Amino acid sequence: MKNRKLRPSSFSAQKKTFSTAVAMCAIRSALRPFLTRPDVSFTALLETPEDIDSLFYHQAAGDLLGKDQLYDEFGNDLISIVRGDELAIVNALGKILDAKRCVILTENLEKLDADLRLVADIEVVLSRPSPAHLLSAARVIGLKGMTPQDAEYLADLEFRRVLLAVRGGRSLRSAISRLRRSELKAKSVADEETIRPTKPNKTLHNMAGYGEAASWGLQLAEDIAAWQAGLIDWEDVDRGAVLFGKSGCGKTTYGRVLAETCGIPIIEASSASWQAMGHLGDMLKAMRRTFEIANKKAPCILFIDEFDSFGDRSSNTAGDNLDYKRQVINGLLECLDPPGGRPGVVVVAATNFPNVIDPALLRPGRLERRLGIPLPDENARVAILRQHLRGLAPPADLLQFVELTAGYTGADIEVVAREARRRVRKERRPLTERDLLEGLPPSRALSDIELRRVAIHEAGHAIVSQVVTTIEVQWVVINRRVQLGDGGNSLGHLEYKLQESVLETEESLALRIDAHLAGIAAERVVFGKHSTSGGGAHASDLRIATDLATRVERHFGFGANLVLDLGSGAEALESLRMRDPRLWRAVDLRLRASLKRTEAILREYRAELEQLTGWLVDKGRVSGTEVRKLVSARRGHPGDTNPAIESQTESQVAESKREWLR
């Protein structure tokens, strides 16, 4: 985060002299090869620290090079000092080519025009003010009382704060005292705000919707109690976990409820709160101070929000901030895994983007667990609603509420409950389902045609998943109503358990693609064409299948070559496809081959597809047990795979490769 630049015009004469004297130290170090040889011509590109205004360095360079002798007797430039953010390239080039000695100051060397960098003799990134610079500057301007210890202290602060404190007419001792008092006050405020009290009577025993995270938290509470009683060593307790899930799913609430369940305090922090303390040194100090507080309060939960802000050192998206990011992550690693350990401190981090976290942070002994918080299912949504109704008796019939809140997070349901409580409190009457529905966006019932298409789509997913994959379908669900104006509507879904394989083959990955495209395939088998229900969103069937096919080609070596390319950035797979037309075509061929295979499966199981569709239209939901019985009746044995499907998969993939190579 960049700080606002300090302008020399905003300071007293003494302050300008001090700041310029500090800047001159860095300029002198960069230009030393030329300063001893005044007859040598040169052009120097100098990158200034991002939070210090380049005008300070502009003035310092002029003082060093002799700004009083800018022209020779013929009026030609002898010295030119250019700030990259002030002059157009053509003017800057003109001044450089005419001048004998030229200094160009910029905030970012990499962003300079290529022509400018061609004419430069040297490129230097100016160092930040060091203790030696501050001591030298104090001597130059006659600032009395500067000791090496003072210089060490001031160099570790944000330079902006040093310049604000060292004012004309104020002694150095007074300036340093003010800085120390300000730092102590900020530390005290940060410490007070760090420890958050948990809400009483809310524990993981009575909170719904947290899935495996709830089970882990309850086990953690037992382990911490056993550790406190001396029954187990700290090595037997999990040290930390990363929570991930959609925004609003209750990650922050989970941290507080976890602390309440364990009966210990919670300390809350984030990258942003540490960064707000100042530059890199201040941020690292704030981070270490938080861990020190946690150690003093142990046993406790240290909750770090928005954990993806730290990023990944291996990512090439950091640009000019890569070194900064590396130092921050290295500092965090030291805090997470200190030589003496951190007994009694469990670190829980929360993120919406678990895939952009540096792998080193997730190693054993650090944040060793990955806990997904799912979107609440039907039972969890009702339980969450009851929690937020705060004693109000819920309506007996919640069928429409359950249907219309598919895809809702706990935070979304809390808003609905709050609006309903407000409405019945004002009218002094019992709560009805209508009160809840009025807090939802407008909706309408699906027509018979729409309902049948949705049922066919979801039935296709269920049947193909059961026939060709190890997915254990638990429920197939369709919604009878749809919210208006919401492009992310969930018209139906499968609830399932996925038995993840440690090792996948090209064939098993192809079958997973088949399962994702089965909804589209079912619509094409029955209606001759598919609708928009399979695409158009990041979580859509087509998006997931497309990304999986891309990984098959580029990540796992199943394409036409063995070259591994993981891509980079938030949309790594999409960027891979966009920059490589051959890859785009290979992925398209895989998807088309998969769609062809899946349509063949569903034509074979057409009777079962129609049967399951009818059940869904009638009941709205069908259990996985019923689906398995329906499919196994045709196959003869519930667990058998279809040899024809396997051989067809292999031949189709081979044909795709041959067509691409042609």
- Active-site amino acid positions: 458
19 SS3 class: helix
The two three-digit tokens of residue 334, written as one number: 């030291």
Please name the residue that has the structure tokens 């000019």.
320
CA–CA distance, 200 with 391 (Å, rounded to integer) = 16
CA–CA distance, 458 with 471 (Å, rounded to integer) = 15
DSSP state of 310: G
CA–CA distance, 43 with 79 (Å, rounded to integer) = 10
568 SS3 class: coil
- Angle, alpha carbons 72-75-80 (nearest 5°): 75
- Angle, alpha carbons 196-363-333 (nearest 5°): 60
CA–CA distance, 277 with 351 (Å, rounded to integer) = 22
End-to-end CA distance of the chain: 51
- Angle, alpha carbons 609-615-616 (nearest 5°): 90
If residue 259 lies in a helix (H) or strand (E), which one and from where to where? helix 251-262
Residue from 593, 336, 603, 623 nearest 462 by CA: 623
Angle between helices 280-297 and 172-194 (to 10 degrees): 50
Q: Output b/e per residue, 376-388; b: 16+ Cβ within 10 A.
A: bbbebbbbbbbbb
Are the C-beta atoms of residues 22 and 8 closer than 8 Å to each other? no
Q: What are the DSSP calls for 52-74, one per residue?
A: S-HHHHHHHHHHHHTTT--B-TT
328 SS3 class: helix
Please name the residue that has the structure tokens 């395939």.
521
Distance from chain centroid for Cα 545: 23
Are the C-beta atoms of residues 209 and 408 closer than 8 Å to each other? no
Phi, psi dihedral angles at 125 (to 5 degrees): -90, 110
Phi, psi dihedral angles at 204 (to 5 degrees): -65, -15
| Edge-to-edge strand list for the sheet holding 101-106 | 79-83, 101-106, 42-47, 122-125
Q: What are the DSSP calls for 28-39, one per residue?
A: HHHHHHHHT-TT
The two three-digit tokens of residue 388, written as one number: 């937020």
CA–CA distance, 660 with 662 (Å, rounded to integer) = 5
Are the C-beta atoms of residues 40 and 85 closer than 8 Å to each other? no
Are the C-beta atoms of residues 481 and 442 closer than 8 Å to each other? no
Are the C-beta atoms of residues 107 and 84 closer than 8 Å to each other? yes
Strands (DSSP E) found in 208-365: 240-244, 266-270, 300-305, 345-351
CA–CA distance, 631 with 611 (Å, rounded to integer) = 11
How many other β-carbons are positioned within 10 Å of the β-carbon of residue 325?
A: 19
DSSP H helices, 446-558, are 448-468, 506-527, 541-554
